[in-house]
Amino acid sequence: MDLSLTLRILPAVFMVLIQYACGNFVFNVTHKFAGKDKQLSELKSHDSFRHARMLANIDLPLGGDSRADSIGLYFTKIKLGSPPKDYHVQVDTGSDILWVNCAPCSKCPVKTDLGIPLRLYDSKASSTWNKVGCEDDFCAFISQSDTCEPKTKPCSYHVVYGDGSTSDGDFVKDNITLDQVTGNLRTAPLSQQVVFGCGSNQSGQLGQTDSALDGIMGFGQANTSVISQLAAAGNVKRIFSHCLDNVNGGGIFAVGEVESPVVKTTPLVPNQVHYNVILKAIDVDGEPLDLPPSIASFGGNGGTIIDSGTTLAYLPQDLYNSLLKQITTRTPVKLHMVQETFACFSFTSNTDKAFPVVNLHFEDSLKLTVYPHDYLFSLREDMYCFGWQSGGMTTQDGSDVILLGDLVLSNKLVVYDLDNEVIGWADHNCSSSIKVKDGSGAAYSVEADNLIQSASSVIKGTFVPLLSILIWVFLSFTSQFC
């Protein structure tokens, strides 16, 4: 992917109107490439039961890690259809729909190096499947027009990612079955009909054997996302959180209000497609760096974006240069470039003791501390590389953009509260547990998972710090096929 590609932030075209909802669910999430080495060039009584159900939490199993040296995207396992069948999908906060590979599909991946089974969704095998036609309100919403004709045709979608990968297919409606939290470390299945994409044609890295999954699950803010659909049905609040473990892989992914640990928050910039926040300052162990004016003031459409679908952290060129200069001034090392984008150096001592922390300060006094073991990764035993990248990304009006991915989000509980339009985080052991609270006030523990822990021994190979499927995403829906 060309990292100098101008980032074009789409205008906020989705107005989300969600009734007050109150559910919590848990997703077991795994980092997509936990334990996998790859080449640099490749780079989650009746009344009381009903109350708990209406105010539920969801637990999603996680797989993967965010380490650049074993590479990092996270994925989860969901169930679709009746009877429910398992699908492994990438977790992405930078896009807004769920889609899975569907039968028949001649260009969909049939195997993966991740040690997990792949499956094509087959509508004919599900008793609860329904088509989504041009006459459906969902289709009218995404197409933003009334030109989908004839009304009897299916509602089609076309997704384009920043690296040129695409997914095409039709929207369908079927049951999604998730793990509802019913007690401490206990879950029970909860099913609801949702609309999702049935992909019949994938291109680019979406079909590559080494990184293939069954699809992508978007956790963006639009009401096309699964969390918004669950909230509209009254099952959940539009609050989700993740804790990405880049030490052991996997982590925690939950839908619902977090009671502990306590998380401080910063406002989300309103009317943005992505999770934009206001970065006020950056310092290297207390020594401040100069920020581009558009970053600090959010002039135009610039600013800072939080995105779990991105592995590394991308800074404007001048800021990137200043950051590396400040770090290497404190700890002198001789840098050389690997694969043209990674600044690397030889080092045999303890990096956490030798290198400074980097602090990012956001509106409302929220601080994010990035430790050396977060921003450095080991290319081999005596060589380290910086995960900071010179992104060169700007908006259409020329404003600079900072994109913060798993590099800075790992080993922290990150909470996205869409109801209150805030995001926040706290340092946390992502191999432990968190407590989520339902509408009745009951709080239950949700523990960490690693979907591919048992398969890690077979996931070997070369090193990839950059999985570009979701390194930067823009999503476009079209109705031209209707």
Sign (positive/negative) of CA torsion 180, 406, 92, 233? positive
Same domain, 280 and 373: yes
CATH number at residue 220: 2.40.70.10
Residue 101 within any structural domain of the chain: yes
Residue 102 within any structural domain of the chain: yes
- The total domain count for the chain is 2
Same domain, 308 and 380: yes
Q: In whole angstroms, what is the distance from residue 139 CA to residue 478 CA?
A: 10
Looking at 219, 252, 285, the residue that finishes a domain is 252
The predicted-structure confidence for 451-475, as pLDDT tens digits, reads as follows 754 333 222 222 222 222 222 222 2
Residue 113 among the catalytic residues? no
Same domain, 201 and 299: no
Looking at 426, 443, 471, the residue that finishes a domain is 426
Q: How confident is the model at residue 68 (pLDDT cuts 50, 70, 90)?
A: very low
Same domain, 270 and 384: yes
Is the pLDDT at 297 greater than 70, yes or no? no
Residue 334 within any structural domain of the chain: yes
pLDDT of residue 144: 53
Same domain, 339 and 397: yes
pLDDT of residue 31: 55
Q: Residue holding tokens 């949702």?
A: 194
Same domain, 321 and 366: yes
Same domain, 274 and 395: yes
Is the pLDDT at 141 greater than 50, yes or no? yes
Same domain, 241 and 268: no
Which of 26, 18, 57 lies closest to 440, judged by CA? 57
Catalytic residue among 65, 96, 307, 438: 307
Same domain, 204 and 118: yes
Residue 386 within any structural domain of the chain: yes
Is the pLDDT at 358 greater than 50, yes or no? yes
Is the pLDDT at 40 greater than 70, yes or no? no
Same domain, 237 and 295: no
The predicted-structure confidence for 162-186, as pLDDT tens digits, reads as follows 667 788 899 999 999 999 898 898 8
Query: In terms of residue numbers, what domain contains 283?
Result: 261-426
Catalytic residue among 59, 65, 69, 92: 92
Cβ count near 337 (within 10 Å): 10
Residue 431 within any structural domain of the chain: no
Same domain, 101 and 131: yes
Which of 90, 93, 92, 97 lies closest to 114, judged by CA? 90
* Higher-scoring residue by pLDDT: 215, 164: 215
Q: Residue holding tokens 């920020």?
A: 291
Q: Which residues of 250-278 are buried (b: 16+ CB within 10 A; e: fewer)?
A: bbbbbbbbbbebebebbbbbeebbbbbbb
pLDDT of residue 425: 97
Looking at 232, 252, 272, the residue that finishes a domain is 252
Q: Report, as an integer, the average pLDDT of 50-54.
A: 28
Residue 307 among the catalytic residues? yes
Question: At residue 427, what are phi and psi to the nearest 5 degrees?
Answer: -60, 135
Same domain, 350 and 223: no
Share of the chain above pLDDT 70, in %: 75
Residue 16 within any structural domain of the chain: no
Lowest mean pLDDT segment, chosen from 95-109, 147-161, 236-250: 147-161
Q: How confident is the model at residue 22 (pLDDT cuts 50, 70, 90)?
A: very low
Is the pLDDT at 393 greater than 80, yes or no? no
Residue 42 within any structural domain of the chain: no
Residue 442 within any structural domain of the chain: no
Q: Report, as an integer, the average pLDDT of 416-422.
A: 95
pLDDT of residue 461: 22
